[in-house]
Amino acid sequence: MSTTQTNKAALIPSKGANFSVSETSIPDITPTEVLIRVHAVAINPVDAIIQRTGMIIDNYPAVIGCDCAGEIVRTDSDVTRFQPGDRVLAACAPSVFDPQGPKRDNWGTFQTYVAAKATVTVRIPDQLEYREACVLPLGSSTAAIGLFSTTKLGLELPQLEPVSMGKTVLIWGGSSSVGSCAIQLAKAAGYEVATTCSNQNTEFCKGAGADYVFDHRSEEVVEEILVGLKGKEIVGVFGCVMPADALTKCGKLASKLGGPKKFVTVFAGEDQAKQIAGDAFAAIPRDVAVSHCECFPRTYCK
């Protein structure tokens, strides 16, 4: 790379501080990494949590951001399936996706150039725009863990030609990034999908593949779901949003809908869930098995 190229980043100078855009060094890559020229980034709810709480930040100033899409400008010695010029998407939170990797203060995607582990980098087709591709890494990986991990809902894996399972999964928050990915993955695995969203996003969720869509703003939404899914074989509830009232409703539904009474949240572990959602989990019936999407390192960093 030319020494004349510079890197600009949205830096967080201290815990809870506002972003400040300034020049910073271009990350050095290790033998298993690629260097990406970032063209688009996704902003996830967890980014605001990281900014506010300092979660997974070791030192300041820090560059955060988990998702990006862009063009590879450099690869290192152990990377053989990518080359400069490849259009890719990538996940770039090393403490989550690569806990044994290098410790950097500028690990995030909110910068012009970012280092990413090759195993969490994926080539994208020419017809897919960067701004469309950048929303997929964290959303799709979280959705996959919640739906298919044997310690979560444990559903059958997606197939190129899905065979109907005759079973239904409830995905709360179908218009969110994780929720919309979860709808598509569950349908590809052969499941019926029931989901919630606001009325303005009903057609979006149906377009993603949802079979049943309920208005989460309705005061009677829990009863409406129980009536609408009566007689269905329910395989579990996947809560793809973080508000406390949504979590308690998901827990009640997991208890009343029957089936295995499993409820999976998008939180990265129990500590984060308690920190963000407070006492919401105390209202969940005790017969419900609650779990979280905390197993990124074991799943994606081998």
- For residue 86, the domain's CATH number is 3.90.180.10
Q: Are 159 and 62 contained in the same domain?
A: no
Q: Are 92 and 11 contained in the same domain?
A: yes
Q: In total, how many domains does the chain have?
A: 2
User: Which tens digit of pLDDT belongs to each residue from 89-129?
Assistant: 999 875 555 666 677 778 899 999 999 999 999 999 999 99
Tokens representing residue 268 in the block? 């990265």
Strand 67-75: give its sheet, edge to edge: 113-117, 33-42, 67-75, 87-91, 121-123
Q: Are 41 and 94 contained in the same domain?
A: yes
DSSP string covering 214-232, please? Answer: EETT-TTHHHHHHHHTTT-
Distance in angstroms (rounded) separating the CA atoms of residues 81 and 110:
25
DSSP state letter for 291 = E
* Tokens 């830096």 belong to residue: 11
CATH number of the domain residue 244 falls in: 3.40.50.720
Q: Are 128 and 150 contained in the same domain?
A: no
User: Which tens digit of pLDDT belongs to each residue from 210-265?
Assistant: 999 999 999 999 999 999 999 999 999 999 998 889 999 999 999 999 999 999 99
Tokens representing residue 48 in the block? 């605001």
Q: Are 88 and 16 contained in the same domain?
A: yes
Q: Are 88 and 144 contained in the same domain?
A: no
Task: Indicate whether 199 belongs to any domain.
Answer: yes
Distance in angstroms (rounded) separating the CA atoms of residues 38 and 138:
16
The residue length of the chain stands at 302
Distance in angstroms (rounded) separating the CA atoms of residues 34 and 26:
12
Binned at pLDDT 50, 70 and 90, residue 273 comes out as: confident
Tokens representing residue 234 in the block? 């329910």
Greatest extent of the chain over all pairs of C-alpha atoms, in Å: 65
Task: Indicate whether 75 belongs to any domain.
Answer: yes
Average pLDDT, the chain: 91
CA 126 vs CA 62, 87, 113: distances in Å? 32, 8, 21
Give the mean pLDDT of 177-189. Answer: 97
What is the percentage of the chain residues whose pLDDT exceeds 70?
93
Task: Indicate whether 219 belongs to any domain.
Answer: yes
pLDDT at 42 over 90: yes
Task: Indicate whether 98 belongs to any domain.
Answer: yes
Binned at pLDDT 50, 70 and 90, residue 274 comes out as: confident
DSSP string covering 111-137, please? Answer: BSEEEEEGGGEEE--TTS-HHHHTTHH
Q: Which amino acid is at 254?
A: A
Confidence (pTM): 0.86
Residues 6+ apart with CB under 8 A from 257: 170, 225, 226, 229, 232, 234, 237
Peptide bond into 162 cis (omega under 30): no
Question: CA torsion, points 250, 253, 255, 258, in degrees to nearest 10?
Answer: -130
Query: Of 78, 105, 134, which residue constitutes the final position of a domain?
Result: 134
Query: Of 134, 155, 183, which residue constitutes the final position of a domain?
Result: 134
Q: Are 166 and 88 contained in the same domain?
A: no
The sign of the torsion formed by the CA atoms of 33, 39, 45, 50 equals: positive
Tokens representing residue 171 in the block? 């995905």
* Tokens 């030319």 belong to residue: 2
Task: Indicate whether 2 belongs to any domain.
Answer: no
DSSP state letter for 25 = P
The sign of the torsion formed by the CA atoms of 252, 253, 258, 259 equals: negative
Domain of 60, in residue numbers: 7-134
Tokens representing residue 257 in the block? 């809908």
Q: Are 205 and 266 contained in the same domain?
A: yes
Task: Indicate whether 1 belongs to any domain.
Answer: no
Q: Are 102 and 213 contained in the same domain?
A: no
Q: Are 96 and 14 contained in the same domain?
A: yes
Q: Are 93 and 226 contained in the same domain?
A: no
Q: Are 288 and 244 contained in the same domain?
A: yes
Query: Of 134, 149, 178, which residue constitutes the final position of a domain?
Result: 134
